[in-house]
Structure 1
Amino acid sequence: MTPVENRELSPYTGWTRQHWASTADGLLHAVQRYRSPSGARFDLPGPVSANGSRSDGLEGFARTFLLQGFRVVGEQGRDPTGLLERYAEGLAAGTDPTSPERWPRPDELGQAKVEAASIALILRITRRWLWDELDDRVRQRVVDWLSTVVGQPYPPINWVWFRVVVESFLREVGGPWSAADIEEDLAVHASLRRGDGWYSDGQERAFDHYVGWALHLYPMLWTHWFDVVGSLCPVGTYRTWTADLARYLDDLVHLVGSDGSPLLQGRSLIYRFAAAAPFWVGAVTGHGGLSPGLVRRACSGVLRHFADRGVPDSDGLLNPGWHGSWPGMRQAYSGAGSPYWASKGMLGLALPAHHPVWNAVEEPLPSESSDHARAVSAPGWLVSHRRADGVAIVLNHGTDHAGTGERRSDSALYARIGYSTATVPPLTGATVDDPVDNTVAIVDGVGDATHRTGFERLYVREADDEVLTAASRGRACWIDTQEDETADHGYGRRGAVVEGPVLTVASVLRAGVEVRLVRVDGAGWDARVPGCFVRMGGWPVASDSEPTARGGTSRTRVSFESSELRSLVFGIRGFTGGGLASEFGTSPLGAWTAVPWLATDDVPVGEVLAGGVLLDRGGVPPVDPTVLAIPDGEGGHEVTVAWPDGVSTTVELPGTP
């Protein structure tokens, strides 16, 4: 039975701990029909990952084991699902080398390194009720299986935490472990720190949800649930991490829409409400800096966002997709068991019913209580939301999952200029290779668009009058990725490169309206190539009906309105035409995706172009700023954006070195 809403305790979502528990228990019971005979695998229906079905079955076990463990801890050892014994049987079979259900070992298969960490974490926090009750032979087999991580190579990304967690558990139960491994992994983690609470998932500019659900989650749970502070973890490092988490959550809470949607950006989005995990980490450890009522509002908002939109599905399962099943969101490593990393987003169930986070009155999210704008330096983002529509947007001048000067195609998940809680770039179809939405590109005579990955970040700033500014530049390139057969992990792809001109792009953001500035510098490129022009794309809006553009009184004002959203672009300087790009079946949010765009007649080298870009829920007349560009004598420009109410903002578009 669905629990009764409590609008006094939870005025925004109505949800209480009972709703969370009911959701978790439903997920756990639904997967049982896919349990293998001895319980070591959950062979769920759906696509098989590049790692194979044995790996996917292990994922199904380990990731639902996370959720089972949180339930047991939150009930202080009581097993509300009655399934703990079944997971114990699965541990026995999976680690038995003679069992037909034996798991691939971490030294045999990389993905097993990931799942080993979930198993070790839950064995640690449920030790009194599970590990200590296991047969000695089973405990030894588990130790033998886990200990194959010792000395193994791990990629220098969030994966280093999987080894830290496993070896820390082995240390506590008398198994083999390596202090050198943990020291090496902590050094990698330190190298990923980028300031203001942000981490990059690797040395590239890789900012996404892994910052929260991995690079904050594991360090904080490690220091909270393992006996490591002052021994394996220096006290100063621990204090740094706690401060980092609070600073990160102060930004992250502005990236949840008033409808509970997380930001649709970065890989592994099929983990859905795992986006709630970092908020729960703050509550579990007491170091998040957010009030209990705001934490629960954010987390219940995220979970209910999906629950109200068909998640889990009619069979009670999590499938690869967003609101419903949408396999186009998968990466190569995603199998049918992968979506259950969403269990991380239910970490709050490890907190008992009397905890303040379950008993404080919900407080409003920033996106539903205020108009706000902030520059987030580490990822190079301008963040904005307005109370009127509750959509959080990001303008991106620092993230592309690459390094400066690299030549890759633009990943739809990382390299767009804009991301939001209500839109997603087309993830399949023609515009993946020839992007339109939230881009500035040179389009050649056959319609192929350039890419921006490898750009240089110039600045990310907060100006006066609640205006944000950011700029980036890089050599535009046409990239033919047809020969790239590497596994799709959501990043840009390599291929033959044809270099174009240098594009400098700046965003001036005020009250949700972006003035996008563009200059083309043609040194080393023949700007007279016939048929080329500059195209600037707006926000991608999903619709269940075929899109039709709406224009204004000129050819350079193009908008598209769905039943919920409006995407508008309007020319301010240098653009001479526009149109609407639409594709069918390229988005998990709707049958169609529409992107309004502006274009020039040719490639006006050295001139400053300007266009307005807006995403909202309609009903508010957009402002019409003017733009004045003055050459600085060094190949650059000083550009002033004059807003209709008399406010003006001046930014620089520096010349190309």
Structure 2
Amino acid sequence: MTAAREIRTREQWAALADEMLLAVRPYASPHHALITLPGAPGGYGTAVDGLEGFARTFLLAGFRLAGERGADPLNLAELYAAGLAAGTDPSSPERWVRPEEHGQAKVEAASLALILDLTRPWLWDGLDAGVQERVVDYLSSVVGDRGYPRNNWLWFRIVVETFLRSVGGPWSAEDLEEDLALHESFARADGWFSDGDQRSYDHYVGWAMHLYPVLWARMQGASVEPDRQARDVARLDRYLQDAIRLVGADGSPLIQGRSLTYRFAAAAPYWAGAIAEVPSTSPGQLRRAASSIVTHFVQHGAPDEDGLLTLGWHGPWRPLAQSYSGTGSPYWAVKGMLGLALPADHPVWTAAEEPLPLEVADDLVAVAAPGWIVSGTHDDGIVRVVNHGTDHALEGSLGGDSPLYARLGYSTATAPLLDDEAWAEPFDQAVVLVDADGRSTHRSGMTLLGCAVVDGIGVASSRSVAHRVEVDPSVQTHGSGLVGASVVVGTLTVVSVVRGAWELRAVRVDDADPGLTLRTAGWPVSGEPAFLAHGVRSDGLTSLLVAEGLDTEVRLDKDASPLGTWTATPWVSTPVVAGSWWVTAVCLAQHPNDPPTAAVTEQLTVTWPDGLVTTTHLPHQQ
């Protein structure tokens, strides 16, 4: 892969897909049922790794077959048919872990079912009756299974049972009704979904909660009420109006949330929008978003020089993966190549690409469900999210902060610190109370107070019970923060006023224990640091934190980010003055302008660098 390579046209997409499919062949078992890619085994063991390698590359093979209407120069149908035969044969040394044996097989079963339905004329119909019976037997153990997590996994059972229904296998109307009702319970404002009961807003909203309804409605065994399908499309349409604003001009998706090693799976909802023919985002802009994302990763070494996807972001970086991730896991990325299932004459391929919003002008929106102010700046192409409502937790809970969810800011140019210390002691993009021993508080379970853009100014605010967490190291999490005994030490109210690359951050402390220090930290930037008066510049990015009367310090962390060996984060601290507002100015930009200034009474009056003066009312003490 070369730094200059573009993935824009359908031909370029197809060439990349074929290279990826050919690259995994040397790692296939003799009958192709297991594709066990190089690297240390994942948390679920080699058998699951091999199944994931098959099922997830099967997605891409299926997209290629469907989009070419069965044309198959790589002999994909024959290879994957052989794998289906061996994987479902109980006597084969290549037999798959079954859904009733391991939960991860339930995930992979959905990929098998989805592609068997999508490629029915060229694959399923060509399997002999015995293999078909074994596939049905393999999949049918999910019927009536109550062991599915209450999140996006609900769609795995729906997809499998819908396929089973279409081939005369067992299925349960009660299961489908239950799962669809659960899906509805996760619906939030403006087309957004949470990935479960908690405030879990991340890429799963697009690559799962919106993707599967679109694909399911087109499965042969689906019986979708017109009202439901119309509602699903309307929600997707509205969600995409926000999601299109979360892609940087360089094609980077937002670096936030779990499962980031799936990389360009972030492109999946744009293809879903093209399939569903959403009215508000044009085919050319949908393809622009998807192509920009895939091009970004190709130009940054994913796939690698051997054509393989590793556990990491650009290059390999194992800490980015979840505890259960294995060598085949990154191939869920191919969901972002769904567009290849659409033929060359589809409007998404024939339309001219259209620019993303921030490629035209500065862009500023409020996203109500996750409590985000999204600010994209045209001059440097960076998208920033100021976060006051997402933490992968329930309001009022007192667990630890997840660096992937609970930080005050995320962007397309920075990654949160993700080493062990970052999970135990929040630092970057965090406002915390620090005790005499240097222990920091967490804010998960925060209360969103407001999130809106008015007259070109974004304002979001939240209140949190500041608490220390004595971490229980024996408990594993899949995205949420660490858990343990919590000690409440005060209340923090934070207000963010956003315009362009700058955020004015006003903080008030109430009900605090004595002897605490208030600390705020800015954007973490990775690369070779050059220290500035109020921050740091690293590989073309400047991170500033300005506090009147205080010197800005910079902390260096090693091997804490997938974006570089060294990461620098500016920070300032001050003794707690209960009931008083403390204001800092925080910036991330390639070429920052002068900082805004602020005056505080019962409101925050900001004078911006261009002379504009704005006023924001500050919340009263609870």
TM-score for the superposition, normalised by structure 1: 0.92
1:313 partnered with 2:304: yes
Question: CA offset at residue 625 of structure 1?
Answer: 1.9
Structure 2 Cα separation of the partners of residues 496 and 478 of structure 1: 8
Q: 1:222 aligns with which of 213, 216, 220?
A: 216
Structure 1 Cα separation of the partners of residues 41 and 421 of structure 2: 25
Structure 1 Cα separation of the partners of residues 152 and 8 of structure 2: 32
Structure 2 Cα separation of the partners of residues 471 and 649 of structure 1: 16
Structure 1 Cα separation of the partners of residues 461 and 546 of structure 2: 20
Question: CA offset at residue 257 of structure 1?
Answer: 0.3
- What residue number does 1:534 align with? 518
Question: CA offset at residue 172 of structure 1?
Answer: 0.4
Structure 1 contact 549–560 (Cα < 8 Å) conserved: yes
What does the per-residue CA deviation read over 1:429-472, in whole Å, with 9 as the maximum and x for residues that have no partner?
433322221110111112211111111111111122x0010100
Q: 1:583 aligns with which of 557, 565, 582?
A: 557
Structure 1 contact 73–125 (Cα < 8 Å) conserved: yes
Question: CA offset at residue 227 of structure 1?
Answer: 4.7
One-letter code aligned to 1:626: A
4+ aligned runs moved over 6 Å, structure 1: none
1:326-345 map, 5 Å: 326-345=317-336
Structure 2 contact 214–275 (Cα < 8 Å) conserved: no
Question: CA offset at residue 285 of structure 1?
Answer: 2.5
Structure 2 contact 110–157 (Cα < 8 Å) conserved: yes
Q: 1:401 aligns with which of 392, 399, 408?
A: 392
- What residue number does 1:629 align with? 601
How many residue pairs match? The answer is 620
Structure 2 Cα separation of the partners of residues 111 and 487 of structure 1: 17
SS at match of 2:8: coil
Structure 1 contact 71–80 (Cα < 8 Å) conserved: no
Structure 1 contact 272–342 (Cα < 8 Å) conserved: yes
TM-score for the superposition, normalised by structure 2: 0.97
Q: 2:507 aligns with which of 518, 527, 533?
A: 518
Q: CA RMSD in A?
A: 1.6
1:550 partnered with 2:522: no
Q: 1:612 aligns with which of 566, 585, 590?
A: 585
Structure 1 contact 627–641 (Cα < 8 Å) conserved: yes
- What residue number does 1:484 align with? 473
One-letter code aligned to 1:274: A
SS at match of 2:175: helix
Structure 1 Cα separation of the partners of residues 221 and 81 of structure 2: 24
Structure 1 Cα separation of the partners of residues 460 and 589 of structure 2: 21
Structure 2 contact 53–329 (Cα < 8 Å) conserved: yes
Structure 2 Cα separation of the partners of residues 653 and 484 of structure 1: 39
SS at match of 2:365: strand
Structure 2 Cα separation of the partners of residues 571 and 505 of structure 1: 15
Q: 2:461 aligns with which of 465, 471, 484?
A: 471
SS at match of 2:48: helix
Structure 1 contact 411–491 (Cα < 8 Å) conserved: yes
1:120 partnered with 2:113: yes
- What residue number does 1:184 align with? 178
Question: CA offset at residue 49 of structure 1?
Answer: 2.3
1:60-71 map, 5 Å: 60-71=53-64
One-letter code aligned to 1:183: E
Question: CA offset at residue 316 of structure 1?
Answer: 1.1
Structure 2 Cα separation of the partners of residues 422 and 645 of structure 1: 25
Structure 1 Cα separation of the partners of residues 610 and 34 of structure 2: 63
1:156 partnered with 2:140: no
Structure 1 contact 277–346 (Cα < 8 Å) conserved: yes
One-letter code aligned to 1:643: W
Structure 2 contact 7–295 (Cα < 8 Å) conserved: no
Structure 2 contact 434–519 (Cα < 8 Å) conserved: yes
Question: CA offset at residue 496 of structure 1?
Answer: 2.0
One-letter code aligned to 1:79: D
Question: CA offset at residue 100 of structure 1?
Answer: 1.7
Structure 2 Cα separation of the partners of residues 96 and 496 of structure 1: 48
Structure 2 contact 423–482 (Cα < 8 Å) conserved: no
Question: CA offset at residue 645 of structure 1?
Answer: 4.5
Question: CA offset at residue 605 of structure 1?
Answer: 0.6
Q: 1:438 aligns with which of 429, 437, 445?
A: 429
- What residue number does 1:134 align with? 127
Structure 2 contact 598–606 (Cα < 8 Å) conserved: yes
Question: CA offset at residue 498 of structure 1?
Answer: 1.7
Structure 2 contact 7–13 (Cα < 8 Å) conserved: no
1:501 partnered with 2:490: yes
One-letter code aligned to 2:556: S
1:381-396 map, 5 Å: 381-396=372-387
Structure 1 contact 439–538 (Cα < 8 Å) conserved: yes
Structure 1 contact 549–559 (Cα < 8 Å) conserved: yes
Structure 2 Cα separation of the partners of residues 621 and 114 of structure 1: 48
- What residue number does 1:593 align with? 567
What does the per-residue CA deviation read over 1:539-575, in whole Å, with 9 as the maximum and x for residues that have no partner?
00001x3x34211xxxxxx211112210001014xx6
SS at match of 2:398: coil
Change (3 A) 1:272 1:14: closer
Q: Which runs of 5+ in 2 are unaligned?
A: none
Structure 2 Cα separation of the partners of residues 459 and 541 of structure 1: 28
Structure 1 Cα separation of the partners of residues 611 and 97 of structure 2: 66
1:653 partnered with 2:614: no
Structure 1 Cα separation of the partners of residues 501 and 318 of structure 2: 32
SS at match of 1:216: helix
1:561 partnered with 2:537: yes
1:15 partnered with 2:8: yes
SS at match of 2:56: helix
One-letter code aligned to 2:189: G
Question: CA offset at residue 134 of structure 1?
Answer: 0.4
Question: CA offset at residue 490 of structure 1?
Answer: 2.4
